[in-house]
């Protein structure tokens, strides 16, 4: 008995689709290998491995050959080509353009849900408004709600945010007319989120930068530490940051009398190139 081949229309990451297809096909036919694929589509095997691992991208010229090898029909091939373009997109407008095209291949219900979830990460103020509703007695005054956000947004933007949060089932209107959360936190799990969340993270980084001028020093805590560590040290730092994030969420979860919403940005990134002097060691 062989594993069922992956359904391409359930993917938003073509690298993941290729990797899953390879695993399923390998179990079906042990002769199926990266070298076999490379010979049929004219790509270096080493480069092909990096494509399947998500480290490199396919060229437009190689798409017809790989679609033929995977025995994709016309509609599947169109979707696969869009997946590749979506995976290469970097500008927010490009990402949105190709994502919306991909949604056209899904059924209507799934398309609407995914579009709403994608939209959630496109505006930085959706998450603050969601958290505001946890403690702010919002009953429908969008002008007042908009003023509660820093920096302030337009009432129409506040209304759009509330409507989206309702469609996603993240908030609801109580019997007393006051809106409330249906779930304290939201998690990401869909394959496209790694790309979509980038827009949100960029916006929060820009907010942190502007907070240096907008927010009084006693109401914020922004600091920078520069350190030099090995790859093992880097792994430990990432583990420590993950622990800190969990602790922050736990503190927020235990709050019973919140009065304000905060963004907490934890950034760890290299500011020099990697230096490995192992070649100089005898």
State whether residue 103 is helix, strand or coil: helix
- pLDDT at position 225 is 92
State the Rg of the chain over Cα.
Answer: 23
Alpha-helix runs per DSSP H in the chain: 14-28, 34-41, 45-52, 63-69, 74-88, 92-103, 108-120, 126-135, 142-148, 155-167, 193-214, 231-254
- pLDDT at position 188 is 52
- pLDDT at position 106 is 65
Question: Against a cut of 0.75, is the pTM above it?
Answer: no
pLDDT one digit per residue (tens) for the chain, 282 residues: 445 789 998 888 899 999 999 999 999 888 889 999 999 888 898 999 999 999 999 999 999 999 999 999 999 999 999 999 998 988 767 877 888 788 778 654 555 656 777 788 888 999 899 989 989 999 999 999 999 999 999 999 999 999 999 988 889 999 999 999 986 555 554 555 655 677 788 888 899 999 999 999 999 999 999 999 999 999 999 999 999 999 998 998 898 899 999 999 998 989 888 887 554 554
Q: CA distances (Å), 114 to each of 23, 58, 191, in order?
A: 27, 25, 11
DSSP string, 179-241: EEESSS-----STTHHHHHHHHHHHHHHHHHHHHHHS-GGG-----------HHHHHHHHHHH
Q: Per residue in 73-119, pLDDT tens?
A: 999 999 999 999 998 988 767 877 888 788 778 654 555 656 777 78
Q: Per residue in 271-282, pLDDT tens?
A: 888 887 554 554
User: Does CATH number 1.10.260 belong to domain 8-90?
Assistant: yes
């Amino acid at each position: 008995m062989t594993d069922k081949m992956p359904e391409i229309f359930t993917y938003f990451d073509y690298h993941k689709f290729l990797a899953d297809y390879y695993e399923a096909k390998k179990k079906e036919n042990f002769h199926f290998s990266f070298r076999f694929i490379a010979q049929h589509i004219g790509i270096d095997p080493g480069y092909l491995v990096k494509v399947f691992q998500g480290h490199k991208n396919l060229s437009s010229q190689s798409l017809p050959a790989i679609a033929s090898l995977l025995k994709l029909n016309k509609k599947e091939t169109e979707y696969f080509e869009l997946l590749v373009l979506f995976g290469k997109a970097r500008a927010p407008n490009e990402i949105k353009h190709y994502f919306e095209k991909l949604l056209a291949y899904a059924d209507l219900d799934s398309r609407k849900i995914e579009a709403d979830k994608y939209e959630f990460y496109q505006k930085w103020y959706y998450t603050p408004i969601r958290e505001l509703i946890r403690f702010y007695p919002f009953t429908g005054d969008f002008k007042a709600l908009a003023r509660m956000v820093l920096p302030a947004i337009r009432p129409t933007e506040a209304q759009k945010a509330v409507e989206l949060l309702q469609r996603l089932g993240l908030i609801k209107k109580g019997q007393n007319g006051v809106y409330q959360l249906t779930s304290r936190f939201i998690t990401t799990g869909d394959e496209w989120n790694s790309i979509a969340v980038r827009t949100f993270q960029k916006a929060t980084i820009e907010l942190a930068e502007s907070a240096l001028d907008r927010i009084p020093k006693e109401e914020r805590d922004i600091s920078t530490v520069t350190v030099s560590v090995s790859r093992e040290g880097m792994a430990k730092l990432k583990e420590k940051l993950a622990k800190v994030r969990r602790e922050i969420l736990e503190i927020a979860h235990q709050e019973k009398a919140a009065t304000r919403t905060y963004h907490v940005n934890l950034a760890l990134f290299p500011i020099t190139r990697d230096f490995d002097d192992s070649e100089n060691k005898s």
